[in-house]
Amino acid sequence: MTLFSLAKRNIIGNFKNYLLYFLSMIFSVVIYHTFVSLRYSSEIEKNIESFQSMRSVFLQASIILIAFVAVFIWYSNAFFTKKRKKEVGMYSLLGLRKKTIGKMMFYENLLMGAGAVIAGVLLSTLLSKMFTMLLLRLLGTDVDVGFTLSLEAFGNTIFVFTCIILITSIQGYRLIYNFNLIELFQADKEGEPLPEVSMIGVIIGTILLVFGYWIAFQPVDSNGQILRNLLLIMGSIVTGTYLLFRTAIVYLLKKAKEHKSSYYNGINIIGTSHLLYRIKGNARMLTMIALLSALTLSAITIGTSQYYNFTTHAKQLEPFSYTYISKGDIEEEKIKEIIYEDKNHPVQAELTVPLLKVHTDPSDTDLPEYLEQLMAEFPEEDFINLISAKTFNQVSAALDRNEKVTLSGNEAAMIKPRYTHDSFSDYEGRTITLKLPEEEKQVRFTHLLEGRVLSWRYPDAYIVLSDELYSEMEKQIQPVAYKTYQVKDQKNTELTSNQLHQLGFDDLKLSTFYKVYKRGLESAGQDIFTLGFLGLVFLAATGCMIYFKQLTEAHSDKGRYEILRKIGVRKKEVLTTISKQSLFIFLLPLIVGISHNLMIVKVLLGINLIGGDISIPILTSIGFYIAIYLGYYILTVNTYYKIVNL
Amino acid sequence: MKMVVDVKSVKKVYGAKGNVFTALDGIDLSVMEGEFIGIMGPSGAGKSTLLNVIATIDQPTSGDIFIDGTSILTMNEDQLASFRRDKLGFLFQDYNLLDTLSVKENIVLPLALAKVNVKELERRVDDIADTFGIRPILEKYPYQISGGQKQRTAASRAIITNPRLLLADEPTGALDSKSATDLLESLKELNEHRQATVFMVTHDAFAASYCKRVLFIKDGKIFTEIVKGTSPRKEFFNKVLDVLSVLGGGTSDTV
Ligand SMILES: Nc1ncnc2c1ncn2[C@@H]1O[C@H](COP(=O)(O)OP(=O)(O)OP(=O)(O)O)[C@@H](O)[C@H]1O
Ligand SMILES: [Mg+2]
């Protein structure tokens, strides 16, 4: 019998043992290949304007996926190998040479890997059609997608998995060399000493977590700081979580054990001792699941928040449907004509917004912080835009906003700059000296307004003045007049918007709501897809991890529950204790994951990666996650119960 | 006297068609309250199987068993569990200790399941630990103790609830003669002072000589039975040896 056929027989003979490992490899191949196929998809390329930027997002995501897939396969491999140590020991005892055994393990893993890649690629070809359609729909394009096979994608997948499988195969080869016989035989010997409670671990873990969270709540200014903080947070959270799972749970369980009146009360003794018995092996898994859950949740939260908020963002970036600088040329007539010709989108409001561009005095010391920074950045430019209260109120009315302002004398109102977290207290009582050709005027901030008036451009500094003051200044500088239109159903003004942009009147700084909206839609769609995809993968992975782990435990618990039944434990009690134990295993990482997620969201808000109203996205993501987890939980308890009651 | 267990023409057949094995072949047996019955017979005769069906952890293929007058066929899963928990003590041939629990926890498990209060529970462990000399190993785990210590742990678990019916499958198999005698004495004490009915499977004629009645099983049938009556233990011991020499499969020992 050749080695190769021995390895083959091994696989067929112990199919059940192999199935789990095989399935997790297939799973990895499927997600990876599906994703890579999207990256190389010609269908998507044809239908998306910003395909290049999309590609880079996909590239980054696929790097994360490679890391994930590698860890996942490595994890399942370790799990699988552990269960086979005895078998390997047996071969050795039977007189097979180490080299022979090593080769056998190597071929075996290689064979399974090859099988998994083939199966995975086939499966994912079906899936990628579905995902392509989903992606295109999210991006607002509806097309029918056929089956396509991309050679590039195929090559990419093969390359990545050949590397991973080769590494795990080599690990398999070395197994027999890394342990001596007695260790191999004792691999699954029942009973391990109970882990000691290390108070130091609990303390360090807590400190690390508190530290990580504390950093998350610190304000950041520069990019360097952001990077440093992210690394610090990641390091302290990962280690902290692990230490806490490793130690605090043991501590809690031991405390539960010491509380005799509840420990020795019915089936509790079984649940607690089972959890304690396995905690060492479970700590790593729980950590991994808690962290993956946090990542998944954050991914989903970011995705949904972008999708949920992009219309609001677009409205802030581009308050009016169409905006341009009016210079009184004939060109303008052309624009006006096009806008009015669009009968599907009748004009609801047409407004002229006059605006004064001025500079501030460099020696001004009482500036609000934000303006001070702009001042330093643009020392030469007239970056301050002044509008009158009357104009502001007209804009509010035209855009159906409720915000109104009344100012008198040298009172001024700042329009809240985008991408800042400034509040009124940052401006209250501060003054700014406006430089006019004939004089300098000092105004005092008395309000902070939310409503945006014109298209967003950096530097973003709009100050509203009282009507008297404004008209006084108007005499000294020539205002720039913006012409703005608000039309009905502006989200669908693609045709008109394109027509206007094609006119090529660049000096009019023409901008349209539709263009901004569409760009937002594409990037939000892309984000929600990529993040959703990653989230789904992580979700499936965490679910599988718990599920598989619980099932293997169920198999090893079978004998224990049989004994319990023999001494008179009722089926109902068995179900109770299984539900409680599984709840513990599911709930802990979920709670920790949710809490980490909230912290991560806080960090992302701080660095403006997400913004707007995020309470609804957060709640939906968490709700969604809990619902899925509940499903996993019920499935696990059911299967567990069936296995031990066979 | 009340009849505790009534076994009526019980058959137990293992395996599916083509490859069947009859482990019990029509056993009839009535056990009165307070009896101390020994069961002997060659290995594979069906002794453990008989205990298992009486303990309701295995079902007879045909026939019926009445426990306190109720047929086990009419009892549902919960009633059977209650019976095992509240009335039965079972000392398994292969101990059936839980490896996730310490020796002490294994012993108190039946009490915990019955929700006996902690004080009472601790008191009983205390008693039993002294009786069986297992105090030093109370906090150890099954994988850390010897075979004989496991057997004593299993015995402690079986009798800690003061069961009304105690089934012991080769309770002295792994014990030295001192521990074996201690165990037998406590079974006797349970039987005599607490009116427990004891069933004991054994290969050891010395252990059998503690019984009031010994049944011999061969090939799934009751071969014969002998009763101690008023005869002294030594004489009864010799009688057991006589039957065993006819039957084959026993081990002999001197008293
Ligand atoms: N689950 C089973 N499936 C098939 N056959 C079984 C099963 N359990 C027991 N047997 C067979 O039934 C017969 C009786 O077994 P049992 O365990 O009752 O023997 P025993 O009298 O207790 O023997 P020993 O003294 O060795 O413990 C044996 O021949 C055994 O092979
Ligand atoms: Mg037996």
Q: Which residue owns the Cα nearest ligand 1 atom 16?
A: B46
Contacts of A573 in chain B (CB under 8 A): 113
Question: Among B85, B105, B143, whose Cβ lies nearest the Cβ of A191?
Answer: B143
Residue among A273, A563, A570 whose CB faces B105 most closely: A273
Residues 326-365 of A with CB under 8 A from B: none
Please give the pLDDT value at position B250: 46
What distance in Å separates residue B68's CA from the closest CA in chain A? 17
A chain contacts of residue B112, beta-carbon cutoff 8 Å = 263-266, 268-269
Q: How far is A55 from chain B (nearest CA, A)?
A: 53
The dihedrals phi and psi of B67, each to the nearest 5 degrees, come to: -115, 120
Residue A191 pLDDT level (bands cut at 50, 70, 90): low
Residue B255 scores a pLDDT above 60: no
The total number of residues shown for chain B amounts to: 255
| Percentage of chain A modeled with pLDDT above 90 | 10
Interface check for A189 against chain B (CB to CB < 8 A): the answer is yes
**Residue B202 beta carbon below 6 angstroms from any ligand 1 atom:** no
Which alpha helices (H) appear in A351-510, and where do they start and end? 369-377, 389-398, 467-474, 494-502
Please identify which residue in the block is written with the tokens 């200014």: A221
CA distance B145 to chain A (A): 12
pLDDT at A105 over 50: yes
Task: State the pLDDT at residue B163.
Answer: 92
* Average pLDDT for A187-214: 78
Of residues B8 and A172, more confidently modeled: B8
Among the residue ranges A85-89, A115-119, B19-23, B133-137, the one predicted with the least confidence is A85-89
Res. B249: pLDDT tops 60: no
Judge whether residue A188 has pLDDT over 60.
Answer: no
Average pLDDT along chain A: 82
SS3 A42: helix
Does ligand 1 have an atom closer than 6 angstroms to the CB of B21?
A: yes
pLDDT > 50? residue A2: yes
pLDDT digits (tens, 9 = 90+) for A309-350: 788 888 888 888 888 888 877 778 888 888 888 888 888 888
Which residues, chain by chain, have CB under 5 Å from ion ligand 2? B 48, 93
C-beta B249 within 6 A of ligand 1? no
Residue A361 predicted with pLDDT over 80: no
pLDDT one-digit tens code per residue, A66-87: 887 887 888 788 777 877 777 7
Ligand 2 geometric centre to CA of A571 (Å): 26
Instruction: Name which of B192, B174, B10 is nearest B91 in CA terms.
Output: B174
- Judged by CB atoms closer than 8 Å, whether chains meet at B118 and A261 is answered as yes
Asked if B115 lies within 8 A of A266 by C-beta distance, the reply is yes
SS (H, E, C) chain B: CCEEEEEEEEEEEECCCCCCEEEEEEEEEEEECCCEEEEECCCCCCHHHHHHHHCCCCCCCEEEEEECCEEHHHCCHHHHHHHHHHCEEEECCCCCCCCCCCHHHHHHHHHHHCCCCHHHHHHHHHHHHHHCCCHHHCCCCHHHCCHHHHHHHHHHHHHCCCCCEEEEECCCCCCCHHHHHHHHHHHHHHHHHCCCEEEEECCEHHHHCCCCEEEEEECCEEEEEEECCCCCHHHHHHHHHHHHHHHCCCECCCC
> Which ligand is nearest to the Cα of residue B16, counting in written order?
1
Q: What is the pLDDT of residue A298?
A: 85
Look up residue A162 and give its amino acid.
T
Question: Rounded to two decimals, what is the model's pTM?
Answer: 0.75
Nearest residue in chain B measured CA to CA from A192: B143
What pLDDT digit, counting tens, does each position of A377-407 carry? 887 788 888 888 888 888 888 888 888 888 8
- Ligand number nearest to the C-alpha of B15: 1
What are the two backbone dihedrals, phi and then psi, of residue A629, each rounded to the nearest 5 degrees? -65, -40
Selection from A76, A91, A66 nearest residue A19 by Cα? A76
Of A190, A267, A563, the CB nearest to B113: A267
* Cα of A130 from ligand 1 centre, angstroms: 57
> Tell me, what's the pLDDT at A541?
75
- The per-residue pLDDT for range A419-433, each reduced to its tens digit, is 777 788 888 888 888
Q: Which residue in the set A190, A269, A560 is minimally distant from B105, CB to CB?
A: A269
pLDDT tens digits, one per residue of A600-627? 888 888 776 676 678 888 898 899 889 9
Q: What is the ipTM of this complex?
A: 0.89
pLDDT at residue A354 above 60?
yes
Query: b/e string for A522-545 if b means 16 or more Cβ within 10 A?
Result: bbbbbbbbbbbbbbbbbbbbbbbb
Write down the pLDDT at residue A626: 92
- SS3 assignment, position A512: strand
Instruction: Please indicate whether residue B24, judged by its CB atom, sits closer than 6 Å to ligand 1.
Output: no
Phi, psi of A172 (to 5 degrees): -60, -40
Residue B253 pLDDT > 50, yes or no?
Answer: no
Tell me the CATH class for B3-247.
Answer: alpha beta
Q: What is the pLDDT of residue A621?
A: 87
User: Which tokens sit at B122?
Assistant: 């601790």
pLDDT confidence band for A129 (50 / 70 / 90)? confident
Task: Pick the range with the lowest mean pLDDT from A45-59, A182-196, A285-299, B57-71.
Answer: A182-196
Q: What is the pLDDT of residue A46?
A: 66
Residues A535-579: pLDDT tens digits? 877 787 778 778 777 877 888 888 889 999 888 898 889 999 999
pLDDT in tens, B140-154: 998 889 888 999 999
Interstrand relation of A462-465 and A384-388 (parallel, antiparallel or unpaired): parallel
